[in-house]
């Protein structure tokens, strides 16, 4: 039994409705951090993103949103009432 995705939607089929456990919080927090770090390193720090005001503003907004998402997920590790 492995992970299956529909060709059309890319939705995980196996274990999709399993109960959430502590590992899910850690895993999603880690993935959010990896994405935010990669975005910062490869987009925000790119020379064009630094030089072009419009691109810089958009990249900064996206980067901020990614780190806010990371903080949201991390905060849920301690408040699992939801």
Residues ≥6 apart with Cβ < 8 Å to 32 = 66, 69, 70, 73
The C-alpha atoms of residue 75 and residue 82 are separated, in whole angstroms, by 11
Q: For 9-32, what is the mean pLDDT?
A: 78
pLDDT at position 57 is: 98
How do the domains of the chain map onto residue ranges?
22-76
pLDDT at position 17 is: 60
pLDDT band, residue 34 (cuts 50/70/90) = very high
Question: DSSP character for 20?
Answer: P
Q: Give pLDDT tens digits for 40-64.
A: 999 999 999 999 999 999 999 999 9
Q: Which of 32, 22, 13, 18 is nearest to 71 (CA)?
A: 32
Cβ atoms of 38 and 54 closer than 8 Å: no
User: Is the pTM of the predicted complex or chain greater than 0.85?
Assistant: no
């Amino acid at each position: 039994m492995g992970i299956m995705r529909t060709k059309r939607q890319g939705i995980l089929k196996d274990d999709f409705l399993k109960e959430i456990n502590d590992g899910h919080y850690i895993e999603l927090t880690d993935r959010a951090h990896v994405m935010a770090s990669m975005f910062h390193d490869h987009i925000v720090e790119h020379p064009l993103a630094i030089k072009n005001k419009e691109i810089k503003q958009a990249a900064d907004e996206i980067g901020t949103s990614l780190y806010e998402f990371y903080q949201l997920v991390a905060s849920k590790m301690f408040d699992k009432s939801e």
